[in-house]
Structure 1
């Protein structure tokens, strides 16, 4: 019939398939967004509030709850979206599920799974909390968050590093000297010719007069080692929560004051080496004159 355009079958099939894809995508998005928004607006705040009320002294569990709950919502929303799109039959195929799980673990490997388990151990450890100052073989700093794979730590230089959870659980991990105090240790090398007692008193007085140093425990200084070339003395003092202090600047300021005070008091810091050279150098004049010693 005139005025009618014949549409090829392959074009019609393509349009129908395209329409079906859009419909499935639409219902997937609707299912995903509805579940995720409801979870974020209703479930997450309630769950976080309950966990926070029961763990007021453990912010790590609160932070972990927010992280794990967010991942759970994304996973559940994705499954809901797939079912809403009409692909729920996929989950009824046990063989497919087992194959998928096997594939995921085979690709991810033991490292990812180990990091996840390590993260769970860190979250449930009562001696490991967000905000704690920790020290391990690779460094030290303040715990900011514990995620699935890594723990974020703020360093004394005010940088942030991501430490694998497995590194924190498989190596020695310490929280130096309590939750709210941190011990700073400085060493000074003295010449054997110096009055060691006077140097110890000066170091202790410098630490006591520093505004950031706590009165309790009081600073102390001691002889640490009688070395081959120098006497090693050590001063220890405590500061408040290291997360509120710039330890790098504090150490630098303390060393500057020690150097200035020792110069004023005539206290000699040991030279790099106790070896010295002595002797005489003779210079010969090429014109034939007698050689003249230049000194020692």
Structure 2
């Protein structure tokens, strides 16, 4: 208890602490009620409604949850400020309004640019969670479209965060359908080799690989008559790149091609523009 002999400054300090604790308590109560109530009721309800109306588009479901969480945090902070008794400052203080405007002006360009880009990606019917995509910086499976970035799982099973603005300002390819993924491999053979036999061997190697689909049928073709070699290309499909180790499939294909070419005497194009053959005999005087 504070007695009559207590110094006035101590009374002021204790009163200030009581006021701060009270304001902090009401801020926490206001923030907690709105945030945890929204997380427990509003977001699950909205997510279920979106899921029921967009069963074939999980992108909208994940985006709805992400954006609602951001809005909910902002609304919870605002509620906490009002509950703490500082609601009048938000409408009366020109300094606070100017500071908020200044902060948004500095950070807004990138933040809002990413937000708008994310909205465009969510609205794109050809861009969905679970799709395998390729862009100039890499390729992989879309896992989520967040507030600022899109999370993509690469063929190395690494998750990378690609800024939404990168995906909206570059060409995005969804190669060859939602469920099948085409793998292309190029091989260079010498001009003096039997090209038809090399094409047939490429097709046989692709057909022999276990993960490769029978439909579409693997094929091979000539794609370029280069200065020093003929460029052949094998094309084959796998069913779901998200569940396959594409790097291992490519490695297995290359190993089998090298072994099959060696067995059949097919020469892979030499690295040099000239191929010198013959014998050199050295005689002593």
Q: Shorter-chain TM-score category?
A: over 0.9
For the 8 Å contact 1:152–1:160, the answer to whether it is kept is: yes
Matches within 5 A, 1:5-20: 6-20=5-19
Partner of 2:267: 268
Matches within 5 A, 1:1-296: 6-93=5-92, 95=94, 98-276=97-275, 292=284
CA shift in 2, pair 1:116/1:213, >3 Å: same
2:62 aligned counterpart, secondary structure: helix
2:187 aligned counterpart, secondary structure: strand
Q: CA deviation at 1:147?
A: 1.1
CA displacement, residues 202-236 of structure 1 (integer Å, 9 cap, x when unaligned): 11011112111111111110111111111111010
Distance (whole Å) between structure 2 residues aligned to residue 6 and residue 193 of structure 1: 110
Which structure would you say has the larger Rg? 1
Give the alignment's TM-score, normalised by structure 1: 0.90
For the 8 Å contact 2:90–2:97, the answer to whether it is kept is: no
Aligned length: 283
Distance (whole Å) between structure 2 residues aligned to residue 160 and residue 244 of structure 1: 15
Distance (whole Å) between structure 2 residues aligned to residue 113 and residue 145 of structure 1: 18
Distance (whole Å) between structure 2 residues aligned to residue 210 and residue 280 of structure 1: 40
For the 8 Å contact 1:90–1:96, the answer to whether it is kept is: no
**Considering only aligned residues, what root-mean-square deviation do their CA atoms show, in Å?**
2.0
Q: CA deviation at 1:5?
A: 6.5
Q: CA deviation at 1:93?
A: 2.6
For the 8 Å contact 1:219–1:237, the answer to whether it is kept is: yes
CA shift in 2, pair 1:221/1:38, >3 Å: same
Q: CA deviation at 1:95?
A: 4.0
CA shift in 2, pair 1:52/1:17, >3 Å: same
Distance (whole Å) between structure 2 residues aligned to residue 176 and residue 109 of structure 1: 34
CA shift in 2, pair 1:268/1:276, >3 Å: closer
1:259 aligned counterpart, secondary structure: helix
Q: CA deviation at 1:92?
A: 2.4
For the 8 Å contact 1:185–1:236, the answer to whether it is kept is: yes
CA displacement, residues 54-111 of structure 1 (integer Å, 9 cap, x when unaligned): 0111101000111111111111111111111111112323745642442122220422
1:212 aligned counterpart, secondary structure: coil
Q: CA deviation at 1:35?
A: 1.2
Which runs of no fewer than 5 residues in structure 2 stay unpaired?
A: none
1:173 aligned counterpart, secondary structure: coil
For the 8 Å contact 2:47–2:65, the answer to whether it is kept is: yes
Q: CA deviation at 1:276?
A: 4.3
CA shift in 2, pair 1:113/1:250, >3 Å: same
Q: CA deviation at 1:145?
A: 0.9
1:141 aligned counterpart, secondary structure: strand
